[in-house]
Amino acid sequence: MTTVSSAEHTRRDFLYIATGAVGAVGAAAALVPLVAQMNPDASTIAAGAPIDVDLAPIAEGQIIKVFWRSKPIFISHRTKKEIEEAQKTPLAELKDAETDQKRVKEGHDQWLVLIGICTHLGCIPLSHQGEYNGFFCPCHGSVYDTSGRIRKGPAPFNLPLPPYKFVSDTKIQIG
């Protein structure tokens, strides 16, 4: 062995760092497919395309459940009384303040479309139940009103709204 000059030392260190860095980049790149494969695959994404729902058969006061992207979607044909209750509730009383107008489409006050998943821990609330005659989650006792807003119990937020639009007066497209 001979003594290593400092210039050679630097060159050697640079080589080691460069090799290590390129190796690290390769290892990181190899992780990409291993992580990405867990994401929803093409068939799942394709199956999650928008769906059309015909509202005509839903009677006033009736709530139906349809599935979109494996989530239960509640479509509630609200009665006059239910709409009124939802609209006149003072915002101060709400945990997650939101007006009823913001939760329905303009001119379609009677149609409430919700993702029927309790914002606490993901159970499906029961319809037309609880203190406010809206939704009641049997798992941990969260109570929602006729606008799907959280009123009592451990859930932090209102029932979320799915993306949807009215294709005609009696037909919506969810997604």
Residues with catalytic roles: 140
Contacts of 99 (CB under 8 A, 6+ apart): 87, 91
* Largest pairwise CA distance in the chain: 95
Which of these ranges, 26-34, 82-90, 98-106, 122-130, lies near other proteins under the rule CB under 8 A?
A: 26-34
Structure tokens at 32: 């990409």
The correct pick among 5, 6, 7, 42 for binding other proteins (CB under 8 A) is: 42
**Which residue in the set 49, 56, 59, 91 belongs to the binding site for other proteins (CB under 8 A)?**
49
The DSSP output letter for 98 is -
Q: Does residue 39 touch other proteins according to CB under 8 A?
A: yes
Residue with tokens 């001119």: 107
3-class secondary-structure state, position 93: helix
Q: Does residue 28 touch other proteins according to CB under 8 A?
A: no
Beta bridge partners of 171: 54, 168
Minimum Å gap between C-beta 26 and other proteins is 6
Q: Interface residues with other proteins (CB under 8 A)?
A: 1, 12, 15-16, 18-19, 22-23, 25-26, 29, 32-34, 36-39, 41-44, 46-47, 49
